[in-house]
Amino acid sequence: MKYKLLATDMDGTLLKNNKNISSRDLNALESASKKGIEIVIATGRSYSTLKKYTDLFSFDCYLITNNGAIIRNKVHDVEKSVYLEPEATTEIIKILNNQNVYFHSSDADNIYIQSYKARFWEAKRFLQHEFSNPFSLYKSLILKMIFDKNLKKIDFHKISDQKISINTFFILSEEEQVLSKIKAQLNQIKGVAVTSSSSNNIEALSDRASKGAALNYVGEKLQIQKKEMIAIGDQLNDLSMIQSSGLGVAMANADEKVLEEADWVTKSNEEHGVAYVIEQLL
């Protein structure tokens, strides 16, 4: 089979544990692009947290962000956006406000938070892998909190009054039982799908959106058939695109269910698993 498209997840897949892209992975993607392979980035991240990586690319590519709720074309303009229904958004907020968990919501341009303090500590947890020097970490956090124009503090109790349409919610907790309880409640809301990009989070979005559905859309736009696609991922939010591609690839560090569903298993994200796929198959 001659593959024409490669879609890759970011965290746990293309990104190493320190949240960087290795030069080997980056060079492999660039090499595949030069050979005519369409590269698609498919991530649960919002565009504002993805841009620093796409700025490294020498090639143009489609971006699937927010777990498939938003699709950006090769110049990164929004081509398709799937919002949660207002009633579903209100119900989600009601459930989350009754739990002691961190959460934020996103649309194509912004990340909406309840508290700068809560955001600071969540960002610290997320970014600490990138910094060996604590001073540099805290400096970066403070600058992000002050100058990040995509970060908006809102009153979620009054979100309907602010006329904000939401694509996704991200919920974080280290307590598995708490996440399980929230997931069960969210699954009862009409029109809502629940997925996960790590063992300590769940993400809520429209049941009309997924990485798989978004990849199908991109394939149609580029006139590429499913059997000509490779999709690589490691978590449950990657399952839909792994299952709907010609070749679904799991990282060696993938969730057990992803490993079971994949057609092929590559090396881990620490061992340049994306580059290994390209070197072996493309």
pLDDT bin (cut points 50, 70, 90) of residue 53 is very high
- CA distances for 274 relative to 1, 78, 155, 279, 281, angstroms: 19, 26, 41, 9, 11
Buried b (16+ CB within 10 A) or exposed e, 106-120: bbbebbbbbeeeebe
Instruction: Give the closest residue to 11 by CA, choosing from 185, 147, 203.
Output: 203
| Confidence at residue 154, expressed as pLDDT on a 0 to 100 scale | 87
pLDDT in tens, 69-87: 999 999 999 999 999 999 9
Per-residue pLDDT, averaged over 139-150, amounts to 63
Which residue has tokens 């709907």? 244
Does residue 138 have a pLDDT over 70?
A: no
Q: Which of 120-134, 142-156, 254-268 has the highest mean pLDDT?
A: 254-268
Does residue 139 have a pLDDT over 70?
A: no
- For residues 233 and 239, give the distance between their C-alpha atoms in angstroms, rounded to a whole number: 8
Instruction: Give the closest residue to 8 by CA, choosing from 261, 245, 207, 255.
Output: 245
pLDDT in tens, 164-189: 999 999 999 989 999 999 999 999 99
- For residues 220 and 215, give the distance between their C-alpha atoms in angstroms, rounded to a whole number: 9
Bigger pLDDT: 102 vs 137: 102
| Confidence at residue 29, expressed as pLDDT on a 0 to 100 scale | 98
212, 244 contact by CB (below 8 A): yes
- If you average pLDDT over every residue of the chain, what do you get? 91
Q: Which domains does the chain have, with CATH numbers?
A: 5-81+209-281 (3.40.50.1000), 86-206 (3.30.1240.10)
Q: pTM of the entire structure?
A: 0.90
pLDDT in tens, 228-279: 999 999 999 999 999 999 999 999 999 999 999 999 999 999 999 999 999 9
Instruction: Give the closest residue to 210 by CA, choosing from 247, 241, 168.
Output: 241
Give the other-Cβ count within 10 Å of 252's Cβ.
15
Give the other-Cβ count within 10 Å of 17's Cβ.
12
Beta strands 247-250 and 102-106 are unpaired
| Confidence at residue 150, expressed as pLDDT on a 0 to 100 scale | 80
